[in-house]
Amino acid sequence: MPLSSRQMTQRKSSARRLALLAPMIALSLGACGVDRAATNSIIPASDYRENHPIVMAEAPTSLDIFPSPRHMDRATEMRLREFAAEYRANGVGQIEVLFPQGASNEPTLRGALPEIRKALAAGGASGYLSVGSYPPSQPSAASPIRVAFRSLKARVSGRCGEWPTDLASAGSLEGWQNRPYWNYGCAYQSMIATQTADARDLVAPRAETSIDVEMRRRAIEKVRSGADPGTSWKVTNTSLGGIGN
């Protein structure tokens, strides 16, 4: 049966719409397939910050000293003063003074306890000292006096150098998953934790210090007078041949 002119027009219109929609549908389906494949192959299943997180824990801070048999020398006294200042800033509990048990120089070292107490008090740590002993690794060798206290430190929660899986994966397909190996990033996290002087800085930033009033006044006066408020540094080059003449 022949079609009318109106039916012919409707069929042509439907064919044109299908011809326009077909490329768009194919393009969208192809884009979805490419996006899914790229996502699964790039994003790793784990991160080194999750495998080896930095945590805060109390850990010992120690100082080994070799005082002079007759008196406390100046170098050892300055080390103890600096140690006492660090204890005042970050220390928890008491300061322990540990002598090497059974060492050949133990009697001589125990005579330095009053001088150690005096040096620590000069550095600001004048509280009660806990006196004890520790087993030296070589009793016949000269062993130090160990002064220690506990403080809050940053450290990695686990141990580095552990290899629970085989990187080569000779007997399985585990190493073919394009994921970071277990020990990856542990040394980096340990370095950051060790170099952190105050572990609390990893939790929150420090409070702002007071402004430099003199510096601000000088800058404002220069701006009011139309001068440059910046600091002008003068560099003088010296000839190496003229030194000592």
Torsion on CA atoms 75, 124, 115, 152, rounded to nearest 10: -80
Residue 39: is its pLDDT beyond 50? no
> For 61-82, what is each residue's pLDDT tens digit?
999 998 776 678 899 999 999 9
> Looking at domain 56-153, what is its CATH homologous superfamily?
OmpA-like domain (3.30.1330.60)
pLDDT tens for residues 6-25?
655 666 566 566 555 555 55
Predicted pLDDT at 106: 80
- Asked whether 167 and 173 are in contact (CB, 8 A), the reply is no
What pLDDT was estimated at residue 149? 94
Q: How big, in percent rounded to 5, are the helix, strand and coil portions of the chain?
A: 45, 15, 40
Q: What is the mean pLDDT of residues 51-60?
A: 89
- Report the mean per-residue pLDDT for the chain: 79
Structure tokens at 167: 């990187």
DSSP states along 91-121: EEEEEEEEEETT-TTHHHHHTTHHHHHHHHH
Helix extents (H) in the chain: 5-42, 48-51, 74-90, 106-110, 113-122, 186-195, 213-224
pLDDT digits (tens, 9 = 90+) for 200-238: 888 888 888 888 888 889 899 989 999 888 877 777 777
Q: pLDDT at position 83, please?
A: 94
Question: Domain residue spans in the chain?
Answer: 48-53+158-195, 56-153
Beta bridge partners of 134: 100
Q: How far apart are CA 76 and CA 105, in angstroms?
A: 17
| DSSP 8-state symbol, 245 | -
DSSP 8-state code for residue 229: -
Q: Does the pLDDT at position 181 exceed 90? A: no
What pLDDT does residue 92 have?
Answer: 84
Confidence of residue 5 (pLDDT cuts 50, 70, 90): low
**Structure confidence at residue 25 (pLDDT):** 56
Task: Lowest mean pLDDT of 95-99, 115-119, 238-242, name the range.
Answer: 238-242
Mean pLDDT of 74-102: 91
pLDDT at site 21: 54
pLDDT surpassing 80 at residue 116: yes
- Kindly tell me if the per-residue pLDDT of 147 is higher than 90: yes
pTM tops 0.75: no
